[in-house]
Amino acid sequence: MTEFFDAVQNIPLIRYALLAGIVSSLTFGVVGSFVVTRRIGYIAAAIAHSILGGIGASIYFSRVYDLPWLTPMIGAVIAALLSAFVIGWVSLRAGEREDTIIGAIWAFGMASGLLFIHYAPGKAVSLESFIFGNILLTSRSDVIATVTLGAIILLLVGLFYHKLVAVCFDEEFSRLRGVSSDAYYLLLLAITAISMVLMVRVAGIILSLALLVLPAATASRFSRKLWIIILVSIGLTFIYNTGGLALSFELDVPTGPFIVLVASLVYGLSFILKRMMKA
Amino acid sequence: MNPVASDDIAISEGLCFGYGKQLVLEDVNFSITKGESLCMIGPNGGGKSTLLKLMLGLLEPNEGSLSLFGKSVGEARRQVGYVPQAVRFDPLFPITAIDIVLMGRLDRHRFGFYSRQCRAAAMAALAEVGLQDAAQRPFSDLSGGQRQRVLIARALACEPELLLLDEPTANIDLSVEEQFIETLTQLKGKMTILMVTHDLDLISEIGDSVLCVNHRVHRHSLPLSGETIREIYSGVRRVEHDRRARHHQGDHSACAHD
């Protein structure tokens, strides 16, 4: 373990990764609890996959039209928000089956991303870090983005916590009390979308959903109070992020898969633990 | 049109509503007087829930008008408390009884925490349904009857003048139904109550009169005769309700006793 602490002190990249992990555990713990509670895990997964479309498009357009400001991060945020609003609008208004549109966005995002990257001029783009994530590639600007977006999410949830909970629990009643249920549902999807962008940096497109959902799912096996679930999720995500980073550095295994594997095992153990507590 | 009495809080005139071309409600005329307790009955698909939704402003009439407290339904929203069926909710949703009741104060709340007054009002509403000790208990730990009472408390926290209930006893154990009816009896007279129900016990305990909804709406005074019930349900009587109705009238021939 000393090797890891040395690295934290001496290697800025590790320091950034650790900082991003710590900050994002707050965001992920909060948002993950809402995603699990409102049962919108599959929407989060579709958004995560659509992010590849945004990343691909931003790489393509920034190279073809020489737009250096158009970073993959900006492309990812735009794609995630756009998918969230399309899914939200369709499920609220268009009367189409929600799972169908989730599947369509999921595939469209991946397909367009792969095509954009294929046709992007210049040096070949490695897809691996996007698909599987690589927290060790976190740069200083990523940390700034993580902190900024995380702060915005936490502020929004803090301000509108009770309204979000009410809309998640009973959309109809909230509307009767003058709360714009549709707007708050879209807000929840937007918050989820931004979280997925941050999440993809850590765990990649494929594994990010697990990291968002598993801590809250584990926590909700032991509590029926949302604020407790949120606090436990934050704690678990913090342990997974920092512990996963340290151990994967020591053992030289890929961080994302390692973290997700541990999170899944803990979730599995929670079933056994719950059973033992009952007995 | 009939002359409007000053204490009529709900007036429906020539109201029509349909989903698509099929009219569910046609030429609906009725009024509700302040302080009375009305039960809405009728066959499934007769338009009870639709009428309730119209009164809540969740649906708009195609023709005719519906006003509450002399205002449009939307403007009167704050004066109306609504109690849906408890079975509608996700049983795994992590929320405590008091947090649900606090939702009744959403329109008095902007952001951040609920105010102290809101919390006090929510606790008072829970006490009114006899659940003050269950405030911190998760919704999922409560029995069906308790959940339904929490939803009534939530509607009371709105400080309503008109309370609308959708089949409040539909999923309640017969053993706790009496206690539940007692909760509702205490509310009778304090506010105007309109409830959709098939429960003849509830109708006879609470109702001043019934609103029969089957495409059109008629008012009947209580007690209902078997003939009227047959008319209302157009021959599709529910055996259980019929039995209980007769049970009430002292006819036990259809009851299975040990």
ipTM for the complex shown = 0.87
Q: Where are the domains of chain A?
A: 2-278
| Predicted pLDDT at B234 | 59
How are the residues of chain B apportioned to helix, strand and coil, as percentages rounded to the nearest 5?
A: 40, 25, 35
Give domain status of residue B253, yes or no: no
Structural tokens at position A63: 């190279």
Give domain status of residue B257, yes or no: no
Residue A217 has pLDDT above 60, yes or no: yes
pTM (whole model) above 0.90 = no
* Of residues A206 and B28, more confidently modeled: B28
In Å, how far are A163, A219, B88 from A231, measured between CA atoms? 19, 9, 28
Could you tell me how far CA A17 lies from the centroid of its own chain? 16
In this complex, the residue of A37, A160, A172 whose CB is nearest that of residue B111 is A160
Taking only the tens place, the pLDDT of each residue in A153-189 is: 999 999 999 999 999 999 999 999 999 999 999 999 9
Residues near A90 by beta carbon (within 8 Å), at least 6 away in sequence: A96, A98, A101
Cβ-based neighbour number of residue B12 at 10 Å:
22
Interface of B with A in 89-118 (CB under 8 A): 89-90, 92-96, 99-100, 102-104, 106-107, 109, 111-114
**A159 chain-B contacts, CB cut-off 8 A:** 111-112
Give domain status of residue B245, yes or no: no
Q: Which residues of B85-120 are buried (b: 16+ CB within 10 A; e: fewer)?
A: bbeebeeebbbbbbbbbbbbbbebbeeeebeeebbe
Sign for the CA dihedral angle at A219, A224, A226, A231 comes to: negative
| Domain, as residue range, for B68 | 8-240
Rounded mean pLDDT of B195-220? 85
Give domain status of residue B198, yes or no: yes
Number of A/B CB contacts below 8 angstroms equals 77
Query: Is A31 at the interface with chain B, CB within 8 A?
Result: no
Average the pLDDT over each of A268-272, B41-45, B226-230 and give the range with the smallest value.
Answer: B226-230
Residue B21 has pLDDT above 50, yes or no: yes
Q: How many domains does chain B have?
A: 1
Structural tokens at position A43: 């929407």
Query: Is B35 at the interface with chain A, CB within 8 A?
Result: no
**B58 chain-A contacts, CB cut-off 8 A:** 172, 175-176
| Predicted pLDDT at B178 | 81
Taking only the tens place, the pLDDT of each residue in B148-180 is: 999 999 999 999 999 999 988 887 777 778 878
CA distance, residue B80 to nearest chain A CA (Å): 9
Query: Is B227 at the interface with chain A, CB within 8 A?
Result: no
How far apart, in whole angstroms, are the C-alpha atoms of residue B73 and residue B61? 11
Matching CATH number, A2-278, of 3.40.50.11270, 2.60.120.10, 1.10.8.100, 1.10.3470.10 = 1.10.3470.10
* Of residues B34 and A277, more confidently modeled: B34
Taking only the tens place, the pLDDT of each residue in A70-113 is: 988 899 999 999 999 999 998 888 777 888 999 999 999 999 99
Contact A166, A183 (CB under 8 A): no
Give domain status of residue B249, yes or no: no
Give domain status of residue B170, yes or no: yes
Cβ-based neighbour number of residue A96 at 10 Å:
11
Give domain status of residue B3, yes or no: no
In Å, how far are A51, A75, A167, A191, B194 from A72, measured between CA atoms? 9, 5, 33, 19, 57
Give domain status of residue B250, yes or no: no
